[in-house]
Amino acid sequence: DAKTTQPPSMDCAEGRAANLPCNHSTISGNEYVYWYRQIHSQGPQYIIHGLKNNETNEMASLIITEDRKSSTLILPHATLRDTAVYYCIVINQGAQKLVFGQGTRLTINP
C-alpha cells in the first residue's frame, strides 16, 4: 500500500471550510484513497473514498489531483463536533486491512 503524508495538526474556525491535505505520491493505478476520522474516545468513522474523480457525500468532499499524487478532504462548514484525528489511507484493491498513519489532528475553534 502506498504511504501517505499528512500534517500532524491543523486549526480551523467554526463555520469555515476545513481543508485537510494528504500526499500519496507513490499511489498506483488501482489504489483508492479513503478518509476516516476518530473523535476522542470513539472508534474511527468512515468519511469518504475515491479513485480518480472528485467525490461528495453528506459529510465531506474529496478532491483528488489529476495525477492522483495528492488529495484534499473538505469539510464545508466545520462545527465543534468535527474536532478529531483525520486519517488518509491508500488501499490496494483486494487488500484486507486498513493501514493507519499518524493522521491530522484537526481542532475546530469557536
Partner 1 sequence: DAGVTQSPTHLIKTRGQQVTLRCSPKSGHDTVSWYQQALGQGPQFIFQYYEEEERQRGNFPDRFSGHQFPNYSSELNVNALLLGDSALYLCASSDQAAGGSYEQYFGPGTRLTVT
State which residue, 47 or 75, has the beta carbon closest to partner 1.
Answer: 47
The distance of closest approach from Cβ of residue 46 to partner 1 in the complex, given in angstroms and rounded to an integer, is 5
Which three cell numbers, joined as nine digits, stand for 63? 478532491
Contact 5, 21 (CB under 8 A): no
State which residue, 14 or 59, has the beta carbon closest to partner 1.
Answer: 59
Q: How many helices (H) and strands (E) does the chain have?
A: 0, 9
Q: Is 80 helix (H, G, I), strand (E, B) or coil?
A: helix
Contact 99, 87 (CB under 8 A): no
The distance of closest approach from Cβ of residue 79 to partner 1 in the complex, given in angstroms and rounded to an integer, is 21
State which residue, 25 or 45, has the beta carbon closest to partner 1.
Answer: 45
Give the interface with partner 1 as residue ranges (CB under 8 A). 32, 34, 41-46, 49, 85, 87, 91, 93-103
